[in-house]
Chain A
């Protein structure tokens, strides 16, 4: 599974430009689903099974996109000004490396800063691709790039860019591989444009029209020095979301997830996240409403180019997802 995670996290596909990662996932899931289609917003929808008498229509959502940058202006000396795609962290931006979709590498610099104790504003930053004029700059306005950082396997832990949410995609792919029997009609949806506002999940949930929905995404942790007071920690198992900044998980879904984890003796932790939200919110809001929840993979340093997950948490996330999907659901 680590190879899969490496492949997924080393692919460049910021929000709205998910073609590359979509191709990787399509290949990885080949032959595993009964039907695969793309919807008008580029969501990759893989259906497995049909609704049996004791089954439900369940939608799983892991987003394929990652945060990135888009060029807004090339100045006369070939420096590139940019805007963010998704929630860009300004601290740690300068000195970072990026790669454009055509492979062009670049680094992020900033205007002269009068106060070095403060992070520069987005408007004060630029990308340098080594060009010396507007003419010889290979990047055009509207071109997008993502942060460049290789995958590192620490054994017990893994570090990569875009663990958010390629780790969710990996968990879903692995679950799709492992799952033997399910009474349900399952939709593994690899969504687009989550980082810019849950857009892919909004439209795919309308299209799929599920009975219940689960997103598989990362969540923050409170286990780093002088960090937030959050109770989630790396290594304590997948997190069952109760609440985040945008959604209250359906309590029946929370109970179902916890019952399943306890029965299968899979470690889990209850999650209340102060900020942020996931595709589950968009699923919940679809049509006449959908009971929704989220299986979270605890992740440190989210939205930095080095996001860290625990290997055991990832494996247990797969186990929990498979257990959830293998049996009838009685909410």
Chain B
């Protein structure tokens, strides 16, 4: 039974510290290709930059199971050079612009350091401080005299991965936690299925990689491994928090419905049963809002029954997210157990 040890944590650290904004996933792709060496067959990079690989099983009547994890993260693209090392930028993926002022970033393949500043408080009025600082007044400042940085370069938050006992802190847990989990799954693929691994691109800007990956792989069903927000903070009025999405530490989160997908009820039930049998804690992600690669995969060709399992993490899409080591371990354990026990009969059963 594979588990999360130092090697896996080191790999997650490497993945989290990489810069792979949607459309420019090369840095993570490189790590993924390296890790897949000798661990998967038919490894290839498609025209969008998805990494696809197979682990063929050996049993009879094997299901073709696509397991996908997106490689990209939210971030920035430089779009204009204002001179003196100042660059205008646009956000890529869902970023709250209130999270930007005062952050350190890294720019381009060489991770050149930069900052996003803000006007000194002395030069602002009280009225102005009640308004958001508009994106078009913010700049990424890398300092003068750098010729390598140009419009078109991507940038991300500069936060470095750290572990604090049972807790992990980093940017980009969404979805490096999924990538590292899928890598472990490929390395330990069960023999009863054909595991079709898809490390996808451009999820954060509309699930574009998953759309073509699902078309190419043409699976019987799909399991999407992602990371999902845990908004388990106190409510302003002291009332019960009824909109937490997930809670940190309560185990992998299973999706029932989001803005793009109604997850296959048979697969949802199967996951719950598997978790119960294996003694793995799970939680139901609150239905509604958001989305995962399943939104595109479900609609591929004649339809692909899908399910999504996510690692909860607080403060998603910001400079610093917090995740629980145990939630990650349990996510890996649950997906692996589910793949091991899945049979073709499941898809012949009633949807309910």
> Within the complex, are A and B direct neighbours (CB within 8 Å)?
yes
- A interface list, Cβ under 8 A from B: 15-19, 39-43, 70-73, 75-76, 81, 83-85, 123, 141-142, 193, 196-197, 199-200, 202-204, 206-207
Asked whether B262 lies within 8 Å of A16 as measured between CB atoms, the reply is yes
Asked whether B257 lies within 8 Å of A70 as measured between CB atoms, the reply is yes
A-B contact pairs, 25 of them (CB 8 A): A16-B262, A17-B351, A19-B351, A40-B303, A40-B305, A40-B347, A41-B303, A41-B305, A42-B351, A70-B257, A72-B242, A73-B243, A73-B286, A83-B257, A83-B289, A84-B288, A123-B243, A141-B256, A197-B260, A199-B299, A200-B303, A202-B299, A203-B300, A204-B303, A207-B302
Min C-beta distance of B352 to chain A, whole Å? 6
Min C-beta distance of A210 to chain B, whole Å? 13
Asked whether B286 lies within 8 Å of A141 as measured between CB atoms, the reply is yes
Q: How many A-B residue pairs have CB under 8 A?
A: 81
B284 within 8 A of A: yes
Contact of B301 among A15, A81, A193, A203 (CB under 8 A): A203
A15: chain B residues within 8 A (beta carbon): 262
Asked whether B240 lies within 8 Å of A76 as measured between CB atoms, the reply is yes
Asked whether B287 lies within 8 Å of A41 as measured between CB atoms, the reply is no
Interface string of B255-286 (1 = CB under 8 A from A): 01100101001001000000000000000101
Which of A19, A72, A73, A200 has the most chain B CB atoms inside 10 A of its CB? A72
Other than A40-B302, A43-B303, A83-B289, give 7 A-B pairs with Cβ distance below 8 A: A16-B262, A19-B350, A39-B302, A40-B304, A85-B257, A204-B302, A207-B303
Using CB atoms, name the residue of chain A closest to B221. A40
Which of B287, B301, B347 has the most chain A CB atoms inside 10 A of its CB? B287
Give the complex CA separation of A19 and B349 in angstroms.
Answer: 12
Asked whether B351 lies within 8 Å of A70 as measured between CB atoms, the reply is no
B330 within 8 A of A: no
A76: chain B residues within 8 A (beta carbon): 240
Asked whether B305 lies within 8 Å of A203 as measured between CB atoms, the reply is no
Give the complex CA separation of A18 and B262 in angstroms.
Answer: 12
Asked whether B257 lies within 8 Å of A142 as measured between CB atoms, the reply is yes
B331 within 8 A of A: no
B243: chain A residues within 8 A (beta carbon): 72-73, 81, 123
